[in-house]
Amino acid sequence: MGSDNTLTIRVRLEAFDVKILDTTVRHIVEAVKKSGAVVSGPIMLPTKRKVWAVNRSPHVYKTSQEHFEMRIHRRLLVIANPNQETIELLKGLQIPAGVSVSLK
């Protein structure tokens, strides 16, 4: 196990709409590359699926059910050797509604 002292920032993005998520990732990658940092990614993480089954009728026909699904798409960016300009760009980015961002 090598102990390299390189600082890395992990940016994790989640959204229900994959098109908005991909455009947001593209904007972040372009902004970070302009600042001189090295970006690896976007790494596609597994999509979370949540499925609900709801009865179509409240009293009879229990076997008739309707299924609803919600998908959460996720991406990961790893930024190596960020400088002060990179951190300021990340703070100042306009993230669209519906995209959740977490930094580590």
Q: Residues 16-51: pLDDT tens digits?
A: 988 998 898 998 888 888 888 888 878 899 989 999
Count how many domains the chain has. Answer: 1
Q: Check whether 4 has a pLDDT greater than 90.
A: no
Q: Tokens for 92?
A: 């100042």
Domain CATH for 14: 3.30.70.600
The answer to whether 78 and 39 have CB atoms below 8 angstroms apart is yes
Share of the chain above pLDDT 70, in %: 95
- Give me the domain span that covers residue 23: 8-103
Side-chain half-sphere CA neighbours of 2 within 13 A = 3
What 3-state class would DSSP assign to 48?
Answer: strand
Position 2 in a domain: no
Position 3 in a domain: no
Indicate the residue type of 9: I
